[in-house]
Homo-oligomer: A and B are copies of this chain.
Amino acid sequence: MAPLADLYHLTMAYGQWRAGRHRSPASAELFFRRGPFRGTFALGAGLAEGLRGLRAFRFSAADIAYLRSVLPSTTEDAFFDYLATLDASEVTVSAVPEGSVVFAGVPFLQVKGPLLVVQLLETMLLCLVNYASLVATNASRFRLLAGPDVKLMEIGLRRAQGPDGALSASRYSYIGGFDCTSNILAGKLYGIPVRGTIAHSFIMSFTSLEEVQPRELPPLAGGEPVDFPALAQSWLPRVCELLQTPPEKTNRGELAAFVSYAITFPHDFQGLLDTYCVRRSGLPNFCAVALALHQLSYRAVGVRLDSGDLAQQSKEIRQALRACGAHFQVPWFETIPIAVSNDISEQSLEQFSQEGNEIDMIGVGTHLVTCPLQPSLGCVYKLVEVNGSPCLKLTQDEEKMTIPGTKTIYRLYDAAGHPFMDLMALEEEPSPSVGQELAIRVLGRLGETSKVVPTTVECLHRTYFRDGQVCEPLPSLLEVRNHAQASLSLLSPAHRRLHDPQPYPVAMTEKLYHLLIELREARQ
């Protein structure tokens, strides 16, 4: 595959090459300008894939042939010969560990190397980091809203931007705190736990109990197999009587589907309740089958709802399960997990909390993978230094201004162990000292000096790529997931909250500030 790049990178590359500036040492930074979803924080993700992209960065003969066909015919042959020799072996990349909490305006990936290559890497790195960080952050918000105990399942394969987007969604939702995915390929490739039982189509494909084949199920402890459809059917009137619903309103195809599924997976029977009517059909059919299973010493593993008022229904279902459990003396019945899906958003989770609910597991698809609250993180990749000279972009939009110079990034912690500020310093400056007062300038009010005294100082970046190789061991996906949760848990509640969070201050040293002012004056 050709390097991921926009055409202007190649035309610029030719310009740099022709001017003999292609090997000038350069630094670039990757960051986003505003916290996503109106929160303060994001999770920085996509690093491992970015590093894989760096290792593979190379133009094939076919790529070069294609570029010849699209660049102006005056482009010199020697330039294409040069492109064919390029790789990322002279590039150094430092970054925050994947899954770390990151803030607007603070570079979380830095690239140093020959100008031409540093520029050519822009789109690839943005493409691999932008969505990864966005969806990991989105997932972490669902996790914060759901609390630690509810299981969260990613079910977005059919709603993502194609197969690859869906795989990214599965991978980075897991990092952000989801427990499992429905996507088999994500399970196979990344080892993410996969889950899934039945869909409406399975239930709709049955019309009567006569269709159930095979019909026998042996008790768990062994012994004579029993006619399971008959057993389930014998429970139905008793359940209907208890739940006060007419047996003739239960759908026979649905019962057949449940029975068939239970015979097939007696240890893993989950009932999807809403193909017809939950209260009058799905629920009594489920209870009848689950009680029949119980008679053979199996336990049903759950129910699922995919439409209607999920919180309200979950309470009604819990009540019915409790009633069955008590009446038929099946204690585990009342704890049968209730799973829900159906266009679940952050708002849905807030409503569930407000209404009260009995939900144990939530499947999130569209609102997780497409991030409708903000479908792009808007990361940018900016040159900050070329040939030892810091670069500055001054535009009409103040927000689009860049901060010049190659930097070291520190995170400052307070006595309670919460990070309270990220600080950008020039690379040559000494590290801030613990317990010592520090004069800094906070972004958004650069005109005044502020003083802070950090209890702990963390140097945020590590060098991950050097001499064409990944030079720092990369954690497993599960380790990244754990790191993300740990990183989030350090945040103070005021910074972590999803609505109207307290802004997280980002600052620069006095020295960096003076460089900025000096350059700004020189350029205006």
Q: A residues bordering B, Cβ < 8 Å?
A: 1-12, 14-16, 18-21, 24, 26, 28, 62-63, 66-67, 70, 72, 74, 115, 119, 122-123, 126-128, 130-132, 135, 155, 157-169, 182-185, 187-188, 194-202, 204-205, 207, 211-214, 249, 251, 260-261, 263-268, 274-278, 306-309, 366, 369-372, 374-376, 378-379, 382-383, 386, 389, 391-397, 400, 523-524
Query: With A and B bound together, what is the CA distance between A213 and B17 in angstroms?
Result: 10
Within 8 Å by CB of A7, from B182, B205, B249, lies B182
Q: 6 A–B contact pairs at CB < 8 A?
A: A4-B183, A9-B196, A11-B265, A126-B159, A131-B159, A276-B395
A205, A276, A392, A394: residue with the most chain B Cβ atoms closer than 10 Å: A205
Q: Are A307 and B392 in contact (CB under 8 A)?
A: no
* A83, chain B: closest CB distance, angstroms: 12
- Across-interface contacts of A204 in B (CB, < 8 A): 383, 386, 391-393
A179 to chain B, nearest CB (A): 14
Q: How many copies does the complex hold?
A: 2
Q: A21–B184 contact, CB under 8 A? A: no
**Complexed CA–CA distance, A169 and B162 (Å):** 10
Find out whether the CB atom of B130 lies under 8 angstroms from the CB atom of A158.
yes
Q: Which partner residue on chain B sits nearest A195 by CB separation?
A: B7
User: When the two chains form the complex, which single residue of B161, B166, B195, B371 contacts A169, counting CB atoms closer than 8 Å?
Assistant: B161
Q: Is the CB of B19 within 8 A of A185?
A: no
Closest to A262 in B: B15
A297 → chain B, closest Cβ, in Å?
A: 15
**A21, A158, A370, A375, most chain B CB atoms within 10 A:** A158
Q: Smallest CB–CB gap between A520 and chain B, Å? A: 11
Contact B205 A383 (CB under 8 A): yes
Measured CB to CB, the nearest residue on chain B to A259 is B19
The CA-CA distance from A372 to B378 in the complex, in Å, is: 13
Complex Cα spacing A213 to B135, Å: 44
A131-B162, A308-B397, A376-B159 known; A383 and B201 CB under 8 Å?
yes
If A72-B268, A277-B524 are given as contacts, then 8 extra A-B residue pairs at C-beta distance below 8 Å, sorted by A number, are: A2-B185, A6-B196, A8-B198, A10-B184, A130-B158, A161-B164, A274-B396, A372-B374
Residues of B within 8 Å of A184, CB to CB, are 2-7, 10, 66-67, 70
Q: Which residue of B lies closest to A73 (CB)?
A: B267
A49 to chain B, nearest CB (A): 8
Question: Shortest beta-carbon distance, A39 to chain B, in Å?
Answer: 17
> Across the interface, which residues of B come within 8 angstroms of A8, CB to CB?
182, 196-199
From residue A154, how far is it (CB to closest CB) to chain B in Å? 10
Q: How far is the CB of A190 from chain B (nearest CB, A)?
A: 12
* Nearest CB on B from A172, distance (A): 10
A207: chain B residues within 8 A (beta carbon): 389
Chain B residues, Cβ within 8 Å of A260: 15, 18-19
Query: B378 touching A24 by the CB < 8 A rule?
Result: no
Q: Known: A72-B267, A163-B127, A207-B389. Is A122-B201 also a contact (CB below 8 A)?
A: yes
Asked if A188 and B66 sit within 8 Å, CB to CB, the answer is: yes
Cβ–Cβ contact A6 & B182, under 8 A: yes
CB distance from A180 to the nearest CB of B (A): 9
Q: How far is the CA of A393 from the CA of B281 in the complex (A)?
A: 13
In whole angstroms, what is the CA distance A21 to B307 when docked?
A: 27
Given A6-B183, A9-B196, A188-B63, the answer on whether A74 and B162 have CB atoms closer than 8 Å is no
Q: Is the CB of B19 within 8 A of A213?
A: yes
Determine whether the beta carbon of A395 is less than 8 Å from that of B164.
no
Contacts of A24 in B (CB 8 A): 205
**What's the nearest-Cβ distance from chain B to residue A15, in Å?**
5
